Structure 1
Amino acid sequence: MRRTSCRRPFAATLLAASLLAPVTAIPATPVRAAGADRYGEDHHPPGGLGPELAARLDRTIEDVRRQAGIPGVVVGLWMPGRGSYVRATGVADTATRRPMAADSFVRIGSETKTFTVTALLELVDDGLVRLDDPISAYVRGVPNGDRITLRHLAEMRSGLFPYTSDPDFIHDLLSEPERAFNPWEVLSYGYRHPNTFAPGEEFQYSNSNLVLLGLAVEKVGGQPLPDFLRRRVFRPAHLRHTLFPTGAEFPEPHPRGYTDQTLSGATADATDWNPSWAWAAGAMISDLQDLRHWAEVVATGSLLSPETQAQRLRTLPTGFPGTGYGLGIFETNGWIGHNGSLPGYETVTVYLPSQKATLVIMINTDSLSGGQEPSTLLARAITAVVTPDNVYAGQVVPPR
C-alpha cells in the first residue's frame, strides 16, 4: 500500500496524494425553496451584501471550485451591518449532476472537536474536573498519562502519537471503510508508538487527544458521549440539525462525498463510510444554519463561564504564521473556530469578533489541491474579498 503521513491540519482524516478530477462548472444558485421550509425566514436573511460584492464572491468561489476540482460548494457569510450571502454551487452527485443545495447535511469532521471540548469545559465549570488533572485520573493505560493533562490534550500538546498516522490503521480502515471502530481500538494503534515529545513541549495535531477527552467526558458525565452532547451542548445551543451518529447513518438531504484516500489512490465515493473511527475527534454531522449559530456560540463562549472561555481562547503558537491553537479551537488572523476534514467532506466554521461576522463553508471532497485542503483555499479566497485585513490562514502543517 502507499504510505501516507496523516498530518493534515485540524483533520479527523487520512491522507493520500492524487487530486479529484475537475467537474463541469454550473452557475452559483441561491438557497433553494426547501431551505425555507426547514429554517423559516432566517434562512433568507434580509439585506444581501449588494450585487457587486455578491457577483465578486460568486466568481471567486467558482474559480476556486473549478481550479481545485471541488464537485459542490455551500458558502454562508453573515456580516451584521453589511449584509449576508448564501450560495450553493456545483453538484452534490457527480453521476446524476444533482445540484448542490444549501440545506444539506454534511459530515463535519474535526469540527466535532469544538463540541467535545465544549462538553469538557462545561464539566470544568461544574467543578467536576480540572484542566490540569492528568488523563490517568479518568482513563487507564495512556502512555505517560500521569503527566499528560486534560489541558495538554485539548491544546494538542500531549506528545501522544496520532493513531491516524499508524500504517496498520490506515490499511485496516481503507481495506474496509464501512467497518465500525470503538475508541479503545483506535487508541491502541497509536499506543504502539512511543510518544513524540514530552507533554507541553510542542504542538502536534493528534486525534488521539480528542478520543481520550471523549472518554473522560463519558466517565465524568455518566453518559455515552452522544447522549451527553445532546443534553448539555446541542439542546442548550438550540442546534436542531446536529447529531453524533453511532454508525454510518446520514440524514437526507446530503451530497455524495468524494475522496482520493484509498489504497489505490483512485477517487471513491465515501458517502457511506463509517466515521466511527473518528468518534469524539470527527464523527459528527450538521448543516449550514446550525454551524452558523455554533460559530458564534464557540467564539463568544455563551455556554461557558467567562473565566473558562478566557482559558479556551488563550492560544499558543502552532509553528505556522497567522494561526494559534487554544482549547479545541483555533485563531487564524482574527477568525476563531475550527475546520473539519474526513474522507469525502470538508467544512470551515469561523467567527470574526471584530466584525461579528460568521463564515461557514461545506464541500463534498477532501482531495488536496496543490498540497492544500480545498476548504482552506476557499476560506482564504473568500476572506481576501470581504475581510482583507483578516485573511484566513488555517495552515498548521507543511503541505505533503
Structure 2
Amino acid sequence: MLSQQRLQLRLGGLFRSVGVEGVPVVIAENPTNSPPACTDVRAPQDWGAGWEMRRAEPRMPLTLPGCPTSTLVSDIHWVFSHLLLGPRIMEMTMPSGTGRIIPVPQLQPRMTALIKGAGYGSDEPIVVGIQQRDAPPILRAQGLMSSGEPLTATTLIYAASLSKQMTAACAALLAQHGALDMESALSRWLPQLPAWTDTVRLRHLVHHTAALPPDSKIDATMASDADRTTPSVLRALARFPALDRRPGTEHVYSNAAYVCLAAAVERAAGQPLPQFAQRQLFTPLAMVDTCYWRGPDPMPPGAAPLAFPHPAPLSLGDGGVWTTASDLLRWSQALNADELGISTLMQTPGCLDDGTPIDYAWGIGVRSHAGHRVYRHGGGWPGLRAMQARIPDLDFSVVLIAVADDTERRADLLNSLLDEVTKPGIPDSLRGPGSNRRKSNEPFRVMGNDVA
C-alpha cells in the first residue's frame, strides 16, 4: 500500500522535476479514506518520470485500473492524466461541460528508444520535443555540440526551412488586413527584377508554383565562399532574363521564392522582416528566444555553432530564423489553437492555376497519418537536420533538431513519434474526427535539404 504521505512526497518530487516549486497538493481519497491500492509502484526514485501533467478543471475524478477512485487537486488546477507503470493508461471521467481530454501515449520513457531506433547514437546531439494541448511539453536532449557544450531544449538553433511557415504567417497577417494582395504581381514589390516577374503572383511564391529558376542554378551564380544573403539571392535572380515555364503550372520547391516573398512582406509592412515578425509573431506568442538573423555574424550570440560558419545562411524568408525546441513547440501549439487568427488560411492547400490541388499550404506540407491531417515541414543546412509536425485535431505537436546530422534519419524518427500518438488502443471517440479512417502513411518527399 502506498501511504498518503509517501504519495505527497512523490508528487512534490514530480513538480520539482518539471520546475514547479512549492505547489500544495491536496489528496481527496475515496469514501473509505483508504489510500489507492496500487501494489506495483516502483521505487520512489523512479517516480520522477512517472506522471504526465495536464491542465484541467479542479476536482477531476481519476479512475485507476484496479484502484479505488480518488481525486487529485492542486491550487494551479493541474491534474495527472497518466501513470507510467507499464502500458496501463488511466481512464478519466469528467464533469459535464469541462471539455474533452485526449489521452497521450506514454512517450517520455519511450523517447530514448525511439531516438535509438531511428539510428541516432546516444552521443549524437539531438533534441526532441512533443506537446499536446496545454500539458507541459516533454523534451529530450542528448549529446554535445561542436563547442563542447551540451545540447538542451533551450539551445538557440538554426531553424533552416522551418522559417518558411513564419514568413508565410507574416504574409498571411498582412493579407488578412488588406495590406498584401496575394494576387498582385511580384513586379509590384520587386521592380528591380526582370520583366518575367509580371507573370508571377505572390500566391505562386507561397505554394512553390512560381516557376523560378532552380535553386541549384541560382546558387551557382553566387560566389561559392560568399554568405547567402537576401541581396545576393535577388542579384542572382536578376541575371535570369526569362523563366523556363509558365508560373502556376507545376509545383517545384523553391527557396528563392520565399526570399522574394519575405522582400514583398517587408515592403508591404514598411519595416524589416525581423522587426515585423518580432512584433506580430514572436512577442505575442512569448517566443522569447526566437528571432530572424541577417548577420553580419554567421549566427546570433550564444547560438549553437554551425558546422561551417561560412558561407552563412543569412537570407531571410527561406530561412533566417534561429529558435529553440521549446519555442518551436510554442509556435506549433499556437497554430493548433489559432492564436494568431490565421491558421485556417495557413493550412489551406494551394493549387495550380488550372485548379489541380497540391499538398503544400502556407510554408507547410499537408499530409495524413493514421487518418489524421498532419501539417509538417523539414529544414536542413550542412550539419543540421530539423523536422516539425502537428496534428490539429489531436492538438499535438512534435519537433526534432539534430545539430550534427547530414542524413534523413529524422524522417524515420518523426514517423515513429506520429505512430506512437496515433497507434491503436486509444478509443476513437477520444481521438478526434477522422481517426477511425486509418490510412497508410504517406512517404516523405526530400527537397534538397528539406523534407515536406
TM-score with structure 1 setting the length:
0.72
Find the structure with the greater CA-based Rg.
Answer: 2
Aligned match for 1:91, one of 130, 144, 158: 144
Which residues in structure 2 correspond to 1:226-241 (within 5 Å)? 226-241=274-289
User: More relative contact order in 1 or in 2 (CA 8 Å, sep 6+)?
Assistant: 1
Partners of 1:49 and 1:168 in 2: how far apart? 56
Partners of 2:286 and 2:293 in 1: how far apart? 18
Which residues in structure 2 correspond to 1:11-160 (within 5 Å)? 36=19, 46=53, 50=84, 52=86, 53=106, 54-66=108-120, 71-80=124-133, 85-93=138-146, 96=148, 98-140=149-191, 141-142=193-194, 144-160=196-212
Query: More displaced, 140-149 or 236-245?
Result: 140-149
Percentage of pairs with the same residue: 22
Confirm whether residue 189 of structure 1 aligns to residue 220 of structure 2: no
Letter in 1 for 2:395: K
Which residues in structure 2 correspond to 1:1-400 (within 5 Å)? 36=19, 46=53, 50=84, 52=86, 53=106, 54-66=108-120, 71-80=124-133, 85-93=138-146, 96=148, 98-140=149-191, 141-142=193-194, 144-166=196-218, 168-169=220-221, 172-173=223-224, 176=225, 179-193=226-240, 194-247=242-295, 248-252=298-302, 254-257=303-306, 269-270=307-308, 274-276=312-314, 278-305=315-342, 309-316=343-350, 324-333=359-368, 334-368=373-407, 373-388=408-423, 393-395=443-445, 397=447
Partners of 1:182 and 1:237 in 2: how far apart? 27
Partners of 1:239 and 1:112 in 2: how far apart? 14
Distance 1:45 1:290, change over 3 A: farther
Partners of 2:291 and 2:443 in 1: how far apart? 28
Partners of 1:65 and 1:292 in 2: how far apart? 23
Partners of 1:131 and 1:288 in 2: how far apart? 31
Partners of 1:165 and 1:65 in 2: how far apart? 33
Letter in 2 for 1:358: S
Aligned residues of 1:143 and 1:191 also touching (Cα < 8 A): no
Measured after TM superposition, the shift of residue 82 of structure 1 is 9.0
Structure 1: gaps spanning 5 or more residues: 1-32, 38-43, 258-268
Measured after TM superposition, the shift of residue 108 of structure 1 is 0.2
Partners of 2:17 and 2:229 in 1: how far apart? 36
* Per-residue Cα deviation, 1:317-340 (whole angstroms, up to 9, x for no partner): 79xxxx810122222212214322
Distance 1:78 1:271, change over 3 A: farther
Distance 1:91 1:387, change over 3 A: farther
Measured after TM superposition, the shift of residue 249 of structure 1 is 2.9
RMSD: 3.4
Aligned residues of 2:379 and 2:449 also touching (Cα < 8 A): no
Distance 1:101 1:163, change over 3 A: same
Measured after TM superposition, the shift of residue 50 of structure 1 is 3.1
Partners of 1:256 and 1:34 in 2: how far apart? 29
Partners of 2:262 and 2:110 in 1: how far apart? 42
Partners of 2:349 and 2:163 in 1: how far apart? 19
Measured after TM superposition, the shift of residue 196 of structure 1 is 3.8
Aligned residues of 1:103 and 1:288 also touching (Cα < 8 A): yes
Partners of 1:118 and 1:49 in 2: how far apart? 38
Aligned residues of 1:60 and 1:381 also touching (Cα < 8 A): yes
Corresponding pairs, count: 330
Measured after TM superposition, the shift of residue 348 of structure 1 is 1.8
Partners of 1:165 and 1:34 in 2: how far apart? 51
Query: More displaced, 45-54 or 211-220?
Result: 45-54
Higher percent of residues as helix: 1
* Per-residue Cα deviation, 1:280-336 (whole angstroms, up to 9, x for no partner): 21111001221111112334442235xxx4343221479xxxx81012222221221
Aligned residues of 1:163 and 1:190 also touching (Cα < 8 A): no
Structure 2: gaps spanning 5 or more residues: 1-15, 21-50, 54-79, 87-105, 353-357, 424-437
Partners of 2:175 and 2:228 in 1: how far apart? 29
Partners of 1:398 and 1:224 in 2: how far apart? 28
Partners of 2:398 and 2:235 in 1: how far apart? 36
Measured after TM superposition, the shift of residue 362 of structure 1 is 1.4
* Per-residue Cα deviation, 1:11-60 (whole angstroms, up to 9, x for no partner): xxxxxxxxxxxxxxxxxxxxxx99959xxxxxx97357836544433212
Distance 1:385 1:244, change over 3 A: same
Letter in 1 for 2:313: P
Letter in 1 for 2:157: V
Partners of 1:196 and 1:34 in 2: how far apart? 58
Letter in 2 for 1:91: L
Aligned residues of 1:345 and 1:363 also touching (Cα < 8 A): yes
Partners of 1:239 and 1:83 in 2: how far apart? 16
Secondary structure in structure 2 of the residue aligned to 1:75: strand
